[in-house]
Amino acid sequence: MPKKIATQEFDQVLSLIAHHPDGASVEMLQALADGALSRRTLQRRLAALVAEKRIESFGEGRATRYRLLRANMEAQFAPVIAPEKVSAPQTSGVAPQRSLRMPVVSYGGSTAYVPVSPEGEEIRRYVSQPRQKRTPVSYETGFLEQYQPNHTFYLPESLRAQLHSMGRSPAEQMPAGTFARDILNRLLIDLSWASSKLEGNTYSWLDTEHLIAHGQAADDKDALETQMILNHKAAIEYLVHDGQSAGVCPETIIALHALLADGLMADPLCVGRLRIRPVGIGNSVYLPLAVPQSIEELFGIVLQMAAEIDDPFEQSFFLMVHLPYLQPFEDVNKRVSRLAANIPLIRHNLCPLAFIDVPQQAYVDALIGVYELNRVELLRDVYLAAYERSCQQYVAVQREMVLPDIFRLRHRNELAETVRALVRGGLPVSEATVAAHTPVRVADADRPRFIALVIDEFRALTPGNAIRFGLRPLEFAGWQGGRQE
């Protein structure tokens, strides 16, 4: 006859499950039990609780999760989130589909932070504990395995829609990288400064502007800080100018590392090369992978999965999560991930993510939450706050930009051909002469607007800018002089 399970033993398991309202695996529950339950004992009690309809299971195989039924949720979960108790939150990497803006937990004190969701606050409280109170962990392949591109989402649909609305630019229909190129001068300063600041760099924004725009290094700064800023500039220029080819692939990420790590690594052979030695994470109990073959294999898998993601924001955030988690390089991993997160935004002509005014502590806490708990909610809070700030920063730039004339762009060849024909023929500019020399390729419906466009172009034409239409300055000046006689 099977052994009868005592009520208090059931309550123990229910209490563990209550830590994970969105579901917990056997491994997660065992970790919370801290060795008090064997795997077989825990499985037996879980099966009994499912049979009694006190909990439910979902998923299959290693992906099986257990959670409280709604009737048991309120009674069991309340003690877990009591303010005086800090417990290890769920370790599932798949973010629950909840509203991210309401409610928001305010984080007070003198230290700057970001608006934090309840889930993010739960992570923050856990990682704020002393290291000796946090359980050491290693790389968990299941965190990556349970993500299915375009089926799993770290960013819920409502948030993705919000990000798309905020990040839309005037150049959304233009070739990849157009918007980033249009605001490149400002982006070089903002992103180089803000990303370097997250690494402890003491350059001010004004110092960074002088260095990038005028080549003037700050006298009171370390040479390594100057090098870090210049490396960011080179890496950003690479992404923007090669926007068509710099995609989400191993070659691009390795190139980013080579540019960002140039002159900053103790061993120059480590620049632009995957890691072959173990590394540690400061102020964290997370121990990254140490086997070079596994690092190389997982690096390829991470980028293959990222490349399959359709939504640019989900793709961006996935890179911010999994590149630092893998730590594929000996150093400079976070910088690589921040610039890599901009690749899909640049390619889709969305507002870039410049990390302006992101508090260093919030960013570090969020990454430790990924490292130690495989949870993304706090990093998601940081990402949202950072992107909102970036969009605010560039909204004035967007408003000042001249919207591209799609009609002119579409007829640019015919426009140049008509202008050359009139100038080289020594003809006056009128509706009749323009109409007579308009190429037959211009559709009848477009001809009135095209004729007006040509006349407008002539009003602004000078010997200095006539080269745009394939005319030499003296050639245009001769035509212009003939018109004035």
| Residues 185 and 347 sit within 8 Å (Cβ to Cβ) | no
- Between 40-44, 65-69, 402-406, the lowest mean confidence (pLDDT) is in 402-406
Which CATH code of 3.40.50.10860, 3.30.70.20, 1.10.10.10, 2.30.42.10 fits the domain covering 1-82? 1.10.10.10
Does residue 206 surpass a pLDDT of 90?
yes
Fold exhibited by the domain 131-400: Fic-like fold (1.10.3290)
Q: Which two tokens stand for residue 126?
A: 């856990």
Taking only the tens place, the pLDDT of each residue in 59-87 is 776 678 888 875 454 344 333 333 333 44
Pairwise CA distance, residues 59 & 50, whole Å: 14
- Summary mean pLDDT of the chain: 84
Pairwise CA distance, residues 209 & 178, whole Å: 22
Q: What was the pLDDT predicted at 463?
A: 83
Tell me how long the chain is.
Answer: 485
**Which residues lie closer than 8 Å to 103 by C-beta, 6 or more apart?**
117, 118
Pairwise CA distance, residues 99 & 82, whole Å: 21
| Residues 92 and 375 sit within 8 Å (Cβ to Cβ) | yes
Does residue 163 surpass a pLDDT of 70?
yes
Closest to 193 in 3D by CA, of 171, 226, 160, 170: 226
Neighbours of 249 (CB within 10 A): 16
Pairwise CA distance, residues 107 & 205, whole Å: 26
Confidence of residue 179 (pLDDT cuts 50, 70, 90): low
Q: What was the pLDDT predicted at 389?
A: 92
Taking only the tens place, the pLDDT of each residue in 408-453 is 888 999 999 999 999 999 999 999 999 999 999 999 999 999 999 9
Confidence of residue 93 (pLDDT cuts 50, 70, 90): very low
| Domain residue ranges in the chain | 1-82, 131-400, 406-484
Torsion of CA 282, 287, 291, 293, to 10 degrees: -90
| Residues 186 and 397 sit within 8 Å (Cβ to Cβ) | yes
What is the mean predicted confidence (pLDDT) over 267-285? 93
| Residues 243 and 346 sit within 8 Å (Cβ to Cβ) | yes
Pairwise CA distance, residues 254 & 234, whole Å: 14
Pairwise CA distance, residues 423 & 426, whole Å: 5
Closest to 254 in 3D by CA, of 300, 211, 219: 300
Report the percentage of the chain scoring pLDDT > 70.
Answer: 82
Strands (DSSP E) found in 352-400: none
